[in-house]
Amino acid sequence: MVKVFYTEDIRKMEELTCEQKQITIKELMYQAGYVLAKDFLSRVMPLVKEEILVIAGTGNNGGDALVVFQELKQNGYNVKLAIIGDAEKGSETFKFYLKMLPQHIELITMENIEKAVRKSKFIIDGIFGIGLNRDVSGDFKYLIKLINQAKKIVYSLDVPSGINADSGLLMGMAIKAKFTGVVGKYKLGNFLNDALDYHGEIKLLDIGLLEGYSDIYYLDYTDVDLTKDRFHNSYKYSYGHLACIGSSSMPGAINLSAKAALRSGVGLVEVFLDQEITRFNEEIIYSNLAEDSTFSKYDVVVFGPGIKEVTPLYQKVFDQLIIENKKVIVDAGGLKYLDLKKKYNNIIITPHLKELSDILKMDIETLRKDPITQLRLLAKKGIITLLKGATTIIQEQRYTYLLQAKNHGLATAGTGDVLSGIIASFLVNDTSVNSLVKGSAAQMKAADFARKKYSEVAMIASDVIDNLHKVWLKKK
């Protein structure tokens, strides 16, 4: 588990580090450039004779790039340097390291950059850093397009140029790096939105920044302990009684939730539908939903997969769940029954971005820029959220957790329903946040097994269920 920061907090940590250690920002930049050069050599492993092109912008990221260039040059590598932008208007630290360059260094300009890109085998991207807040345009846009089309091995400094360091959003166009060395601390832009498609292989590099406070954490799902205690002296009710409330119009969704819960260790699962249908699974109990249905005997309730419209029946059932103070996971169509004027007692919702925008009545593009702030507002209303996406965001009242499956095979119909069932299996005996973290990790691990068998292109939601057992198989 590692902390993640907004860029504003990073800048404060840099200032505090310089103050406490009695060093200058220039010295801190040198340390950044030094560790970036070291990381480039250890991970990319260029041969001494192979041509490396360092491209520096004129901000602090460009200053890092100048230090990297110097380090590589001093170690005998075949390295060239291009500076893009008006050096006279560059940052003070950039201009400091520019003056440190030997007089005989021949700088590559925009006039001959295309030839230099074509000749090089490796490109080190130091064009933009954490300060980028507008769309890439002009020469910068041309250069980024040129680099991407050249299909060279690209190493980006801190964040690929063109990715916003706070939101991870594409600012019109961005470098597609094969490697990224993150300086000092992780930024939100290293994880959210478009980040995964542009960072390549990512590594956090220590430059001696003081430890700062953050309530945002990145979790590696492979490190999450998914152990479930089982006892000989037990029976089905020892492992939870789950109610899954769905709709006869789309019964497949709630059945995916139910089956996923069973495969994740729940002792007994009952599916409630608004009218009787053909039973999907022999192990599942099917019941008709009625206005007088009560759920007091159930340990956990999943509400929403397959529900399409708001009806008085489902509204009454949802209100009853809230009155009974049940552990409830609300997903898909069930999210339409939330009333944000009310305060809830830690109910769980698992929307994707479009569903969240509908709940908040906020356009998606605005929401993408800073989803965590909005999720924190929901947490104050007693709503714990798991926001599904390329990076899963789990938000409780105090802490934010980020997890990444790095498996786009999960972008297929029904995987959200599967996730609800897996989470429910943990919620029987665990806290809401622990259940969301463990449920996400279990799905990601099962999806890894499914990918190996079917590929990311061909895998479907039921493949994840069919591989859940492997998550708990003990290695011999």
**What's the pLDDT score for residue 476?**
47
H-helix or E-strand containing 472?
A: helix 468-472
Alpha-carbon gap, residue 257 to 292, rounded angstroms = 23
Write the pLDDT tens digit of every residue in 219-235: 999 999 999 999 999 99
> For residue 75, what are the contacts with CB-CB under 8 A and spacing of at least 6?
41
* Measured distance CA(149)–CA(281) in Å, rounded: 51
The first and second tokens of residue 198, run together, are 């542009």
Q: How far is the C-alpha of 142 from the C-alpha of 138, rounded, in Å?
A: 6
CB 430 within 8 A of CB 438: yes
Query: What is the SS3 assignment for 225?
Result: coil
Counts for the chain of helices (H) and strands (E), in that order: 16, 19
Nearest alpha carbon to residue 184 among 9, 403, 20 = 9
At 277 the pLDDT is 78
Segment 102-111 shows an average pLDDT of 89
**Rounded mean pLDDT of 267-277?**
92
451-473: b (≥16 Cβ within 10 Å) or e: beeeeeeebebbbbbbbbeebbe
Contact between 370 and 363 under an 8 Å Cβ cutoff? The reply is no
For the chain, give percent helix, strand, coil, nearest 5: 45, 20, 40
- The answer to whether residues 172 and 136 touch, using CB atoms and an 8 Å cutoff, is yes
Residue with tokens 């492993």: 45
List 400's β-bridge partners, or say none.
216, 395
Alpha helix ranges (H) inside 328-369: 353-360, 364-369
| Burial degree of 8 (CB within 10 A; 0-12, 13-18, 19+) | exposed
β-bridge mates for residue 395, sequence order: 385, 400
Instruction: Tell the burial category of 354 from Cβ atoms under 10 Å away from its Cβ (0-12, 13-18, 19+).
Output: exposed
Mean pLDDT of 378-383: 97
The whole-angstrom separation of Cα 107 and Cα 3 is 38
Of 40, 459, 17, 458, the closest CA to residue 211 belongs to: 17
Which helix (H) or strand (E) segment holds residue 429: the answer is: none
Q: What pairs with residue 203 in β-bridges?
A: 181
In the predicted model, what is the mean pLDDT of the chain? 95
pLDDT band at residue 475 using 50, 70 and 90 as cut-offs: low
- 202-216, 266-280, 316-330, 452-466: the lowest-pLDDT one: 266-280
pLDDT for the residue numbered 207: 96
What pLDDT score does 474 carry? 75
Q: DSSP for 36-69?
A: HHHHHHHHH---TTS-EEEEE-SSHHHHHHHHHH
Return the closest-CA partner of residue 155 out of 205, 213, 206, 114.
205
Task: Look at strands 216-218 and 2-5 and give their pairing.
Answer: antiparallel
Query: In this structure, what token pair is assigned to residue 472?
Result: 């708990």
The CA distance from 131 to 129, in Å, is 6
Calpha distance 106→237 (Å, rounded) = 75
Count Cα neighbours of 436 within 13 Å in the Cβ-side half-sphere: 29
- What type of residue sits at position 185? K
At 151-196, the pLDDT tens digits run 999 999 999 999 999 999 999 999 999 999 999 999 999 999 999 9
Average pLDDT on 380-408 reads: 97
Q: Say if residues 244 and 269 touch (Cβ distance below 8 Å).
A: yes
Judged by average pLDDT, the poorest of 70-79, 170-179, 467-476 is 467-476
* Residues 258, 367: Cα–Cα separation, whole Å: 31
pTM: 0.95
Q: Residue 276 pLDDT more than 90? A: no
- Is 73 or 291 the better-scoring residue by pLDDT? 73
Sorting pLDDT into bands at 50, 70 and 90, what band is 57? Answer: very high
404-448: per-residue pLDDT in tens? Answer: 999 999 999 999 999 999 999 999 999 999 999 999 999 999 999
Can you tell me the distance from the alpha carbon of 394 to that of 440, in angstroms, rounded to the nearest whole number?
10
Is there a contact between 410 and 467 (Cβ–Cβ < 8 Å)? no
> Which tokens go with 170?
């594409």
pLDDT, residue 293, reads: 79
Gyration radius from the chain CA atoms: 26
Structure tokens belonging to residue 120: 């090089």
pLDDT number for residue 278? 73
Residue 279 has pLDDT above 80, yes or no: no
Q: What is the 3-state secondary structure (H, E, C) of 137-187?
A: CHHHHHHHHHHHHHCCEEEEECCCCCECCCCCCECCCCCCCCEEEEECCEE
Query: By C-alpha distance, which of 292, 267, 291, 271 is closest to 280?
Result: 271
